């Protein structure tokens, strides 16, 4: 479970051998502080994972302070706790107790290295977002974040860097342009004006789902249509935020619940005496939950668009290259040249990529068995789909679900 200072969160419900809790050693129930916001899906998913660990192992007594990302933490000495998992805030270092194990959510690793942290994989999130927009043929992309948060800056920088490597320039919203006041009531107009200035159609990655909802509101103000003019993609896959939006928001899903489980497991070890040594629990992107806000093909070439549409409509069966070509007005040779010049992939590679993506979505968003997924995706049995999936991902289907699922 531990590789150096990085803890791998597989989320498979297993516990490190010999782990216990300080409360168990002293014959009492450990008292754990949970200072994590519940207003966002990220925080709620972490709490679900923590609760699952406590339910499967020795129960803990919890003190929970919900708050928000900007709320100050309470005084540690007033909590009377054995350990804590807490969100990071700017002034937290001044009040950290040396004797209490603490795992921070999304802290700046360079600021105080010894404390363990839950950190999202910004580059992995950015790669999923970039591929999502490239799949739909977007040549214009942008990022809208929250400058004051290091996790948001990291996501934006990773997205811009990966996009540049792919030959795409990313326009980044500068939040300081709206002045010192950061309330959405004051910032709304600045975001709308920024959106109007972008070349369209444009794919906009937002730092999280709340920000994506704000961008959709700003599009309405700017007279821009989602997804036709602006395709909006969030991060966290907070179902409540995404589904209640108009249109519903596509979002990069994270294995946050598995990270919460791994954080609870690590805290158990820390309360038993393991040293705080900057251990990192990674939160990784698993897939893009596609909804209406990015449900568009921005490909200008009609034959490429027709081919991609055919692939997606027939992803549940073993369609052949010749069938894809027949859905267009050109020969296979011409279509291959168009795919390589526009999408930078061969026609065959794109067919396999779309098929594997569909398998991943079924693995992570349903509880279907491997046999059911094989039948749903046009394979003639478990052995066939297992071999195909391992060739594309380097992992078995069960291992992939165990590692990236909740």
Q: What's the CATH number where 7 sits? A: 3.40.50.2300
Whether 127 and 243 share a structural domain? yes
d(CA 76, CA 93): 11
Whether 104 and 201 share a structural domain? no
pLDDT range class, residue 35, cuts 50, 70, 90: confident
Q: What's the pLDDT score for residue 150?
A: 85
Q: What's the pLDDT score for residue 67?
A: 60
Q: What's the pLDDT score for residue 82?
A: 92
Average pLDDT of span 174-199: 83
Residue with tokens 């078995």, as numbered in its chain: 396
pLDDT greater than 60 at residue 121: yes
Q: What's the pLDDT score for residue 301?
A: 87
**Rounded to the nearest 5°, which phi and psi values hold at 55?**
-70, -35
For residue 401, being part of any structural domain is answered with no
pLDDT greater than 80 at residue 332: yes
Average pLDDT of span 165-171: 94
For residue 403, being part of any structural domain is answered with no
Region of residue 177 (phi > 0: left; psi between -120 and 50: alpha; otherwise: beta): alpha
Q: What's the pLDDT score for residue 183?
A: 81
Whether 72 and 60 share a structural domain? yes
Q: What is the mean pLDDT of the chain?
A: 86
Can you read off the two tokens belonging to residue 341? 């010049």
d(CA 204, CA 233): 6
Whether 112 and 32 share a structural domain? yes
Distance of CA 257 to the CA centre of its chain: 12
- In the chain, what is the greatest distance between 2 CA atoms, to the nearest angstrom? 75
Q: Say what angle helices 397-404 and 382-393 make with each other, to 10 degrees.
A: 60
Whether 134 and 245 share a structural domain? yes
90-102 pLDDT, tens digit each: 555 556 677 789 9
pLDDT greater than 60 at residue 46: yes
Whether 101 and 90 share a structural domain? yes
Contact between residue 279 and residue 5 where contact means Cβ atoms under 8 Å apart: yes
3-class SS at 204?
A: strand
For residue 133, being part of any structural domain is answered with yes
Q: What's the pLDDT score for residue 385?
A: 95
Question: Out of 59-68, 227-236, 286-295, 349-358, which region has the weakest mean confidence (pLDDT)?
Answer: 59-68
Q: What's the pLDDT score for residue 267?
A: 96
Q: What's the pLDDT score for residue 111?
A: 63
10 Å CB burial of residue 75 (0-12, 13-18, 19+) is exposed
Report pTM: 0.78
Residue with tokens 């040249």, as numbered in its chain: 337
According to DSSP, the residues that pair with 250 across neighbouring strands are 233
CATH number at 376 reads 1.10.10.60
Contact between residue 88 and residue 152 where contact means Cβ atoms under 8 Å apart: no
Whether 211 and 271 share a structural domain? no
pLDDT greater than 70 at residue 108: no
Q: Where are the alpha helices (DSSP H) in 276-381?
A: 302-313, 321-326, 332-342, 347-365, 370-376
- What residues make up the domain containing 20? 2-120+255-286
d(CA 240, CA 117): 26
What are the distances in angstroms from CA 168 to CA 35, 164, 259?
A: 40, 5, 32
pLDDT range class, residue 392, cuts 50, 70, 90: very high
Can you read off the two tokens belonging to residue 171? 């326009």
pLDDT greater than 90 at residue 4: no
């Amino acid at each position: 479970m531990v590789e150096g200072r990085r803890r791998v969160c597989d989320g498979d419900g297993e516990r490190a051998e010999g782990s216990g809790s300080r409360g168990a050693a002293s014959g009492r129930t450990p008292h754990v502080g949970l200072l994590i916001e519940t207003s966002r899906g990220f925080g709620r998913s972490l709490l679900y994972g923590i609760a699952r660990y406590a339910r499967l192992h020795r129960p803990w007594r919890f003190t929970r302070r919900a708050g928000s990302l900007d709320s100050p933490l309470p005084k540690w000495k007033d909590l009377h706790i054995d350990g804590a998992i807490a969100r990071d805030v700017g002034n937290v270092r001044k009040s950290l107790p040396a004797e209490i194990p603490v795992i921070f959510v999304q802290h700046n690793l360079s600021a105080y290295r010894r404390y363990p942290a839950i950190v999202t994989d910004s580059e992995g999130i950015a790669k999923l977002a970039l591929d999502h927009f490239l799949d739909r043929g977007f040549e214009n992309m942008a990022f809208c974040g929250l400058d004051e948060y290091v996790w948001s800056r990291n996501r934006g920088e990773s997205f811009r860097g990966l996009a540049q490597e792919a030959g795409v320039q990313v326009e980044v919203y500068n939040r300081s342009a709206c002045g010192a006041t950061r309330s959405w009531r004051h910032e709304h107009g600045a975001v709308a004006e920024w959106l109007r200035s972008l070349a369209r159609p444009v794919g906009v990655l937002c730092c999280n789902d709340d920000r994506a909802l704000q961008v959709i509101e700003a599009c309405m103000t700017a007279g821009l249509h989602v997804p036709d003019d602006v395709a909006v993609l969030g991060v966290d896959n907070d179902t409540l935020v995404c589904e209640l939006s108009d249109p519903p928001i596509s979002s990069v899903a994270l294995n946050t619940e598995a990270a919460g489980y791994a954080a609870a497991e690590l805290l158990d070890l820390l309360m038993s005496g393991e040293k705080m040594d900057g251990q990192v629990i990674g939160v990784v992107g698993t897939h893009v939950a596609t909804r209406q806000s990015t449900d568009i093909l921005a490909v200008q070439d009609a034959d490429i668009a027709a081919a991609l549409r055919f692939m997606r409509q027939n992803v549940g069966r073993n369609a052949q290259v010749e069938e894809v070509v027949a859905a267009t007005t050109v020969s296979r040779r011409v279509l291959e040249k168009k795919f390589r010049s526009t999408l930078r992939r061969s026609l065959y590679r794109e067919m396999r990529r779309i098929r594997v993506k569909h398998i991943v979505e079924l693995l992570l968003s349903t509880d279907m068995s491997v046999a059911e997924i094989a039948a749903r995706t046009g394979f003639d049995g478990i052995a066939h789909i297992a071999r195909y999936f391992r060739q594309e991902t380097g992992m078995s289907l069960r291992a992939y679900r165990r590692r990236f699922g909740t």
